[in-house]
């Protein structure tokens, strides 16, 4: 068989040149194999340094601290209610870091607490806002004592009642309100008239009312009660007065509307005006959030009282067990006035 001489492309050493030394083995005497370039590159990187605190938009920081939603925080900034390092802000296009001093209405911004969530049974006749230009009572006028500053997840009309979620975390509020969550909102509706399954079918097919398109709803007729009927509706969006407008377009008048579910959370037997915190185990399961249990929160508060040296001081109860399952949620009754 004929042999073909291939050119030798290996570099040659000139006369007097020394052979290059072999790369030293890593500490411990083990050399990385040539077939693992990724591992080799990783071993050559400088030791990881602690990541500097990331600068964030000030509206996001205010939202996480539970002051307001991000959008409402931007309005507060534009209204001149927020100062940064002694300067009154007029635009939310500002980033801040841990060393910045933020005041809202002249008060220092509190350190953000871990996210918490509450179920609240909103009564009929209360406005779902912190302030009302007409002077009407708001839900915040009637929340029980002991709650931190909270914001609502979504809204309910003045004459609507039922489940309203409250949170101390503006980012969690925004996350739960996003359409991509596709959470089903369930309502029990009492309407004047005699509906049938056929008359409710347009709700299931989707409707256009006054030029606005409503997505299909789940509709089920419960029972007729004299001149009124009870129906159960489910929808995944929350346009203004959507249920009332859709039923009015079908010839029915809504005289009572109760939200009984918001995603995985249910109104259950919660009395009107009462508040109940969602357990840490439920927050982990449904939202993927690691939150403090009531016992851990109490330990943290006790450590802060007993050791005013600051966050670097040891927390004697930091390694305590999670007692979420053993400690029942506390239902808090309402009071008359508690404006945030």
141 carries an active-site annotation: no
Alpha helix stretches (DSSP H) within the chain: 37-44, 58-64, 70-78, 170-177, 197-205, 242-249, 280-287, 294-306
- Give Cβ neighbours of residue 14 (< 8 Å, ≥ 6 apart): none
C-beta contacts of 28-36 below 8 A and 24+ residues apart: none
Q: Which of 100, 132, 137, 157 is catalytic?
A: 157
Pairing mode, strands 161-167 and 253-262: parallel
* Cβ atoms of 271 and 121 closer than 8 Å: yes
* Cβ atoms of 257 and 244 closer than 8 Å: yes
* Cβ atoms of 233 and 215 closer than 8 Å: no
Q: What is the CA radius of gyration of the chain?
A: 30
10 Å Cβ neighbour count for 149?
A: 14
User: Rounded to 5 degrees, what are φ and ψ at 223?
Assistant: -165, 155
Q: What three-state secondary structure class fits 262? A: strand
Tokens of 125: 């006749």
* Catalytic residue numbers, as ranges: 157
């Amino acid at each position: 068989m004929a042999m073909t001489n291939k050119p030798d492309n290996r570099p040659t050493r000139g006369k007097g040149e020394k052979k290059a030394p072999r790369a030293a083995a890593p500490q411990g005497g083990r050399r990385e194999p040539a077939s693992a370039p990724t591992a080799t590159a990783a071993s050559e990187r400088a030791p990881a340094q602690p990541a500097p605190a990331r600068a964030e938009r000030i509206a996001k920081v205010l939202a996480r601290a539970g002051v307001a939603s991000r959008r409402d925080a931007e309005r507060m900034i534009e209204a001149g209610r927020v100062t940064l390092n002694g300067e009154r802000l007029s635009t939310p296009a500002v980033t801040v870091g841990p060393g910045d001093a933020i005041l809202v209405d002249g008060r220092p911004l509190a350190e953000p607490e871990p996210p918490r969530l509450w179920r609240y049974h909103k009564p009929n006749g209360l406005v779902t806002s912190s302030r009302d230009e007409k002077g009407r009572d708001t839900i915040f006028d009637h929340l029980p004592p002991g709650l931190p500053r909270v914001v609502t997840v979504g809204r309910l009309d003045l004459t609507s009642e039922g489940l309203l979620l409250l949170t101390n975390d503006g980012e969690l509020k925004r996350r739960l309100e996003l359409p991509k969550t596709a959470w089903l909102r369930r309502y029990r509706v009492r309407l004047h008239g005699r509906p049938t399954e056929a008359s409710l079918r347009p709700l299931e097919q989707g409707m256009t009312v006054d030029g606005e398109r409503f997505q299909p709803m789940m509709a089920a007729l419960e029972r007729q009660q004299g001149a009124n009927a009870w129906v159960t509706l489910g929808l995944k969006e929350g346009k203004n007065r959507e249920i009332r407008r859709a039923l009015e377009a079908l010839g029915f008048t809504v005289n009572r509307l109760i939200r009984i579910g918001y995603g995985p959370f249910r109104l259950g037997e919660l009395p009107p005006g009462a508040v109940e915190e969602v357990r840490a185990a439920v927050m982990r399961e449904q939202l993927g959030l690691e939150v403090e249990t009531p016992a851990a929160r109490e330990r943290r508060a006790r450590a802060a009282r007993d050791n005013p040296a600051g966050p670097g001081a040891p927390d004697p109860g930091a390694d305590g067990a999670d007692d979420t399952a053993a400690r029942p949620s506390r239902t808090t009754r309402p009071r008359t006035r508690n404006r945030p």
